[in-house]
């Protein structure tokens, strides 16, 4: 059987981009059990409540919901267990320094397969306050309005 090629998105955390200001992103592998991989291949996962943390020189992903595999039996996994992230030691040190500096957290943004291997994109992020969220929405709407005006102006000019 030929190996998978390319990237297949399983789940994305759109709410994270709204609630946090993303500073830097990292790609990490995941240590999963067999039924977790099968459940992910069916495209079932939820990153909304998930977060990552550093403990004892290791990175972990917690509260990410990967539902039980429908055709599994007693070997099935628990849906919200803590999963170990595969990162280089230097990356773990950078992440731990960023989080310990204060105000920053590790948030999962996307869960996907890259050439057949499960990967998660985690971000060093700082929480936005309510007025910052409103400002971001306002800027996005203003940009959309300006593009719309340019399109109508270009059509009239032709």
Mean predicted confidence (pLDDT) in 98-116: 94
pLDDT digits (tens, 9 = 90+) for 1-57: 557 788 999 999 999 998 999 999 999 999 998 889 989 999 989 999 999 999 999
**Confidence at 157, pLDDT banded by 50, 70, 90:** low
- Quick one: which of 40, 37, 47 has its CA closest to 110? 47
In angstroms, the CA 143 to CA 132 distance is: 16
pLDDT at residue number 103? 87
pLDDT at 153 over 70: yes
Element (H, E) at 110: strand 104-114
Calculate the CA 120 to chain-centre distance.
Answer: 6
The runs of H, that is alpha helices, within the chain are 14-19, 34-41, 89-100, 130-157
pLDDT, mean over the chain: 91
The rounded percent of the chain whose pLDDT value lies above 90 is 67
Mean predicted confidence (pLDDT) in 60-65: 95
Q: Are 95 and 106 within 8 A, CB to CB? A: yes
pLDDT at 82 over 60: yes
What is the rounded radius of gyration, in angstroms, for the C-alpha atoms of the chain? 19
**Confidence at 71, pLDDT banded by 50, 70, 90:** confident
| 9 Cβ contact partners less than 8 Å away, ≥ 6 residues apart | 110, 111, 112
Q: Give pTM, 2 decimals.
A: 0.82
pLDDT at residue number 2? 57
pLDDT at residue number 158? 61
Mean predicted confidence (pLDDT) in 71-77: 75
Q: Which two tokens stand for residue 12?
A: 């994305």
Q: Which two tokens stand for residue 14?
A: 């759109």
**Confidence at 110, pLDDT banded by 50, 70, 90:** very high
């Amino acid at each position: 059987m030929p190996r998978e090629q390319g990237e297949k998105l399983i789940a994305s955390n759109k709410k994270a981009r709204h609630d946090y200001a993303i500073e830097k992103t990292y790609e990490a592998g995941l240590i999963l059990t067999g039924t977790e991989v099968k459940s992910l291949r069916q495209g079932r996962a939820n990153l909304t409540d998930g977060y990552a943390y550093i403990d004892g020189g290791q990175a972990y992903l917690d509260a990410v919901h990967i539902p039980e595999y429908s055709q599994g039996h007693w070997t099935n996994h628990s849906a919200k267990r803590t999963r170990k992230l595969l990162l280089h030691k230097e990356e773990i040190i950078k992440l731990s320094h960023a989080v310990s500096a204060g105000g920053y957290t590790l948030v999962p943004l996307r869960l996907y397969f890259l050439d057949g291997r499960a990967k998660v994109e985690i971000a060093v992020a700082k929480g936005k306050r309510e007025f910052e969220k409103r400002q971001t929405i306002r800027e996005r709407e203003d940009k959309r309005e300006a593009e719309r005006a340019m399109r109508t102006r270009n059509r009239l000019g032709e």
